[in-house]
Structure 1
Amino acid sequence: MTENELSYKIIGSAIEVHRNLGVGLLENAYEIALAYELKQQGMNVRQQISLSLKYKEITIDNAYKIDLIVENKVIIEVKAVLELNPVFYAQVLTYLKLTDIKLGLLINFNSELIKYGIHRIVNKLINE
């Protein structure tokens, strides 16, 4: 599947989770439910991936933690906040650059309508 095809399925799963759980829960609940929905569709989903970072001559263990990676092609950052801070977009873009993954989805489940809480972020440094 392409990133766009995966994105379509991920968004559908996020809508399903939001429809069933509503707003007001902790991010962890949405993350687990979303991972469940994606796995039910046969997708390879990894959760809470801690990755190291090289800085000059040193390695920084657990420098960042990605909420979900789907099919090794899409990073999902799950939020449950009143409003998205610009740093969240930068966070996803940084994850994309450090992993050489092209597409990220920032999903805020604390949105009355989930469609307003879903944001696509593209790593423009990746050539197609």
Structure 2
Amino acid sequence: MNHESRKAGKNLRDSKLTEQIIAAAIRVHRALGPGFLESVYEEALAVEFALGGIQFIRQHPVPLFYRDHQIGEHRLDFLVEGKIIVELKAISRLEDIHFAIGRSHLKATNL
């Protein structure tokens, strides 16, 4: 995340909750370091959220519709307090597809 992105994030709704989420993720990464599967980081982040009193749903299903027909579903790694999507990636670099997936999650959830 570049400086401009962080600066713009200061004006987001729920910035306190966002800061708590980021702090929890940083604690997990500092404790575990790189190299684990996403599922390991997901387990650890769930522990951090629970210890911090943050309400969350893991692997939250989101139905996908086309012309009023359900055609599949997304699974969100975490839906935090019903309003923030947390998508974990255990990779060294984000690619365009990762951003596209994030946008599709937002579109499917109307968040």
Normalization by structure 1: what TM-score? 0.72
* Unmatched runs of 5 consecutive residues or more in structure 2: 1-12
Q: Which runs of 4+ in 1 moved over 4 A?
A: none
Normalization by structure 2: what TM-score? 0.82
Q: Which has the higher relative contact order, 1 or 2, with Cα contacts under 8 A spaced 6 or more apart?
A: 1
50, 59, 77: which one pairs with 1:67? Answer: 77
Quick one: distance in 1 between partners of 2:107 and 2:17? Answer: 19
Pairing 1:94–2:104 present: yes
Is the Cα contact below 8 Å between 2:62 and 2:108 reproduced in 1?
no
Report what 2:28 is aligned to: 17
SS in 2 for 1:32: helix
The CA RMSD over aligned residues, in Å, is: 1.3
Quick one: distance in 1 between partners of 2:110 and 2:43? Answer: 24
Q: Which structure has the highest strand share of the two?
A: 1
Report what 1:29 is aligned to: 40
Q: Which structure has the highest helix share of the two?
A: 2
State percent identity of aligned pairs: 37
Q: Give the letter for the 1:59 counterpart.
A: Q
* Unmatched runs of 5 consecutive residues or more in structure 1: 102-128
Report what 1:76 is aligned to: 86
SS in 1 for 2:46: helix
Cα deviation code 1:47-98 (max 9, x no counterpart) = 011221111142124x211100110111000000121111111111211122
Is the Cα contact below 8 Å between 2:63 and 2:108 reproduced in 1?
no
